[in-house]
Structures are given as C-alpha cells and as structure tokens.
Amino acid sequence: MIAALAGAAAGLVLNVALIEQFRGRSAITVFIATLGVALIVENLLVIIYGAANVSYTFAQGNLHHIGPFLWTTTDIEVMISALAVAGLIYLLLQRTRFGKAVRAVSQDRALAQVSGIPARRIVMQTWALAGAVAGFAGFMLALTIGTFSPTLGFSFLLLTITATVAGGLGRPYATLGGALIVGLMLQIAGTYTSSEYELVYAFLLLVILMLFRPNGVFVRRSTVAVRA
C-alpha cells in the first residue's frame, strides 16, 4: 500500500512538473523526456544513498511443481496479483464513468473538454493511477529478487519496452499477453544458453518485433491495395 501511494504521488508530480509542459508534443518526445527524468532521479538517489544493493530475506514459501513449471508460493502470489490488478484496471476502464472519460480524453482531448469532461483532472488521475500500479509492481519485483538499489528499475526497462511493443502500443490489455510472450521466450532461451544473456535476447526480440510486427503480435497486418 505504501509503495502504491508513493508511486501515485510520484505520478502526480511527474505530470504537473513535466508532462503538462509537453502537452501536444509527440509520444516519442514525452517518452524521451520521462526517460531523462528517470535518469536524473536515479543518479540523485545514488548520490544520496549510494549504489550498493540492499539485501533482505523474505520467506518464499514452498515449491510447487505445476506441469513443467516449478514455482514458489511467492511466485504464485505475484502472478495472482498481476492478474487481479489487470482485471481491476479492465473493469475501471470499461465499466466506470472515469474509464469512459479516460478513453474519451485519450482519443480527443479538445472534444472531451467541449463535451464537459474535466480533461486536466482526468489526466492527473490517470497519472496517479499509473504511478500507483508502477509502485505496486516495483514492490512485488523487489519482493521476488531479494535485493534493492536505486538502479533496480532500469535493469527491467528494456524488458518492459519489449513487452509493450509485443502487445502493441496503446493496447493496455494486449500488453499483458506481450509480457507473457517475452517472459516465456527469455526463459526458454536462457534454459538452452545462459540467463546472463537475457537483455541481449530481449534486445534481439525488440529488433525483430520492430522490423516485422511494429504494431504488436496481436494486431492483424493491414492489407494495402496498390493500383498501377
């Protein structure tokens, strides 16, 4: 809960201090700006707290052999939590007035404002929600690996981008499927070679996706008719 609240607060600050300043710019511009802020925050944390890893111990529970997989109790709790959060987000976006407002603002902010939707407030609430989900995800990640440092998130940045591209940009539900695909492919590749090359495999998969399936693996290719 504390991690989610801290993430929500960080999302609000990021929106007010940065995102609103880039309103109307392209998505890639906003992405580069947020990446720059992340690098600044990471280095500030390193300066204040140092770059050494903090190790801790959590009881991982018993081992459960389910089909070809060997999971701990903590692994199962993480998977259930991910599915629960994804389900709640789906219900929030599809079954609530807030979700309808979010979809309206994402499609056409100006038209949504004319229709009486407080677009600025909706954007702020959306960033708070995104920050809360990110904070909770960071907590679950730290729970499973047993170490923590200011650079923890950046080691998973490439994996996150690859999963997003695999699912399709702007398709929040398909991203979950993209994450499953990326995770399975990396685990299979690591089984036959070495898990130390995980980021190499992720980058290779990202390049292949950008070349052949830039819109995501769940999006059908559009057929373009060319007339002479």
The pLDDT score that the predictor gives to residue 36 is 87
Q: Per-residue pLDDT for 225 more than 70?
A: no
DSSP annotation of 223? P
Q: Per-residue pLDDT for 201 more than 80?
A: yes
Name the least confident of 99-103, 167-171, 202-206, 211-215: 167-171
Is residue 133 very low, low, confident or very high in pLDDT (cuts 50, 70, 90)?
Answer: very high
Count of C-beta atoms within a 10 Å radius of residue 117: 18
The pLDDT score that the predictor gives to residue 220 is 67
Q: Per-residue pLDDT for 223 more than 60?
A: no
For the ranges 50-54, 65-69, 100-104, 139-143, the one whose mean pLDDT is highest: 100-104
The pLDDT score that the predictor gives to residue 62 is 80
- Percentage of the chain lying above the pLDDT 70 cut: 95
Average pLDDT over residues 187-203: 79
Q: Is this model's pTM higher than 0.85 or not?
A: no
Residue with tokens 């390049």: 207
Is residue 100 very low, low, confident or very high in pLDDT (cuts 50, 70, 90)?
Answer: very high
Q: Per-residue pLDDT for 124 more than 90?
A: yes
Q: What angle do CA 192, 156, 66 make, to 5 degrees?
A: 50
The pLDDT score that the predictor gives to residue 158 is 78
Per the model's pLDDT, the better-predicted residue between 182 and 68 turns out to be: 182
71: enclosing H helix or E strand: strand 69-72
Is residue 107 very low, low, confident or very high in pLDDT (cuts 50, 70, 90)?
Answer: confident
Average pLDDT over residues 139-164: 80
* CB within 8 Å of 132: residues ≥ 6 apart: 4, 5, 7, 8, 11
Q: Per-residue pLDDT for 217 more than 70?
A: yes
Residue 141 half-sphere exposure toward CB, CA atoms < 13 A = 18
Q: Per-residue pLDDT for 27 more than 80?
A: no
Strand partners, 54: 148
**Average pLDDT score, the chain:** 83
Q: Per-residue pLDDT for 224 more than 60?
A: no
Average pLDDT over residues 196-210: 83
